[in-house]
Chain A
Amino acid sequence: MKHETFDHRPDPELGDALRAALEPAPGDTARFVARVMANYDRALEQATVPTWEVLASWFRPGLAAAIVALIAGVVFGQAVLKTQDTESIETAMAPADGPGLAALVTAADPPDPSVVFTSLVDSR
């Protein structure tokens, strides 16, 4: 009997033939079970203690992330510094109008208080 169309059911004849072809030797199961169980404790121990391979696998992506973060930090820092004003403290302290702080301090005559207070009020 030919089976050219798709059959949704298992084929017992083919299944039995394949099973016989792939079957381990009779009576061999106990030996296999014993072999697996002999490694029971070792498998659990290896699962609970991180091995060097595991630690190394954590290290590599961590190192890559740190390098990326460092580069991003440098680029961001440079961008922020470029946008900031670089005026000196003297420029920052000078009033918008008038002779300026140096002229006021070095003048021979005392300053007119109304001018001083006006400049302070204006600077705010």
Chain B
Amino acid sequence: MGDSGDDPALVAQTLAGDRAAFGVLVERYAAQARRVARAVLGDPDDADDAAQDGFLSALVKLAQYDSKRPFGPWLMRIVANAATDRRRRRKVRSAEPLDPSLVGGGPRPDAVAVQSELGDKLRAALAELPERRRTAVVLFDVEGYSHAEIAGILGIPEGTVRSEVFHGRRRLRALLEDWKE
């Protein structure tokens, strides 16, 4: 998760009016926030809008951040909420799977992963999972957060996180095994 040891210092500098310090935080967490938002929304452009909303919302709420706790989970909770809000605004029920036509990301020639067949299959498989399940798997296996941290990010019990990760992984691992054979 990068060099996150000085996150509280960067937060303090931002609160003191140091704009560049916030820029460092955005740069540090940009990829992670965009991946998490994409796990929720599917569409890369929507995901970038949601990730931006998340960063700006975090900027406004920065005084509420407890510097004794890690910054990443606090930020990811805001980003995940921003993505979920954006998804609701699209008037799609959160329990419904994503439209698989969205997860490919459309004609973006700069997206190398989109051109990969495995990437396409994984995104389609993610889209079939319920929103909470695919977000939990991404936070655990991609971003390396603990079950307790994911519980805090998603606002659900830790046991539910374990269950969501287990069921989400089972589907995705089966796909990965088929791909290897």
Chain A residues engaging chain B, CB cutoff 8 angstroms: 2-4, 6-8, 10-11, 13-15, 17-26, 28-29, 32-33, 35-37, 39-40, 43-44, 46-47
Bound-complex Cα distance A53 to B12 (A): 30
B109 and chain A: residue at smallest CB distance: A25
**Interface status of B80 (Cβ within 8 A of chain A):** no
Name B22's closest neighbour in chain A (CB-CB): A40
At the interface with chain A, which of B3-11, B67-75, B87-95, B139-147?
B139-147
Residue from the list B35, B140, B173 in contact with A22, Cβ < 8 A: B35
Pick from A10, A22, A44, A47 the residue with the most CB of B within 10 Å: A22
**Assembly CA distance A96 to B35 (angstroms):** 91
A68 to B111, CA, bound (A): 58
Q: Within the complex, which residue of B26, B113, B126, B162 is in contact with A23, where a contact is CB–CB below 8 Å?
A: B113
Complex alpha-carbon distance, A67 and B150, angstroms: 43
B137 on the A face (CB < 8 A)? yes
Query: Which A residues touch B156, using CB under 8 A?
Result: none
User: Do A47 and B60 have beta carbons less than 8 Å apart?
Assistant: yes
Residue among B56, B119, B140, B166 facing the most chain A CB atoms (10 A cut-off)? B56
Rank and list the top 3 A-B pairs by shortest CB-CB distance, nearest first.
A15-B141, A21-B119, A43-B56
Instruction: Find chain A residues with CB under 8 A from B172 CB.
Output: 14, 18
Q: Bound complex: CA of A40 vs CA of B10, how far in Å?
A: 15
Residue of A nearest to B119 (CB): A21
CA distance A35 to B144 in the complex (A): 27
Scoring A14, A19, A20 by chain B CB atoms within 10 A of each residue's CB, the highest score goes to A14
Partner of A29, one of B30, B108, B169, B177: B30
In the complex, the answer to whether B19 meets A22 with C-beta atoms within 8 Å is: no
Given the contacts A17-B122, A23-B35, A40-B22, A10 and B144 also touching, CB distance less than 8 Å = yes
B34 interface contact, C-beta 8 A: yes
List residues of chain A with CB within 8 A of the CB of B57.
43
CB distance from A60 to the nearest CB of B (A): 21
Known contacts A15-B142, A32-B48; A21 and B22 CB within 8 A of each other: no
Q: Residue of A at shortest CB range from B123? A: A21
